[in-house]
Structure 1
């Protein structure tokens, strides 16, 4: 079965410890529901920079990356179905870009 990267865009930092606990519980429940399909749980990422031939932009571009995970699924349709349960998608605070990781 192929692996897929989930690239997270958006989301927001919890404003209180209680909100942080709720967000963490939602992520843990989602990962738990996917079970062994979660190959690398991943992490959130910090401020990004965009590097191009024109130079380096400090803003991370139009839709900066906020984190990543790697999952295993039968095909991209199954992977996108899993991504629909992402807490950022469910809450409307972000999106998940799904792409197959091509073995070289």
Structure 2
């Protein structure tokens, strides 16, 4: 089985405790539905910075990332099917990039 990195873009922080509980329940349900495919549930991430060869640091990053997850799946299709059910994708607040992790 291959490992796939799910990279989250967008989304947002809940504004109320009730919204937070609802969001956590949706994410928990999504993770539970993937079962053993979840290798690393990942985490949200803070503001990114892009460092270029000349040492310049751009705050905000070239393509801001909001979090990640690592899955083990038989194919890109399977990984993308899991990504399509992600709470951010379903509610339209963000997107999920899927990339196969290469073994070295």
TM range (shorter): over 0.9
Two-structure CA RMSD over aligned residues (Å) = 0.9
Could you state the TM-score of these two structures normalised by the residue count of structure 1?
0.95
Three-state SS of the structure 2 residue aligned to 1:46 is coil
Could you state the TM-score of these two structures normalised by the residue count of structure 2?
0.95
Query: Where has structure 1 moved over 3 Å in runs of 4 or more?
Result: none
Equivalent residue for 2:66? 66
Task: Tell which deviates more after alignment, 19-28 or 48-57.
Answer: 48-57
Cα deviation, 1:61-102, whole Å, max 9, x if unaligned, reads 2x3000000001101111001100000000100000001111
User: Structure 1: where are the runs of 5+ without partners?
Assistant: none
Whether 1:42 and 2:34 are equivalent positions in the alignment is no
Whether 1:102 and 2:102 are equivalent positions in the alignment is yes
Cα deviation, 1:21-57, whole Å, max 9, x if unaligned, reads 0000000000000001001000000111111235111
Whether 1:83 and 2:83 are equivalent positions in the alignment is yes
User: Structure 2: where are the runs of 5+ without partners?
Assistant: none
Equivalent residue for 1:15? 15
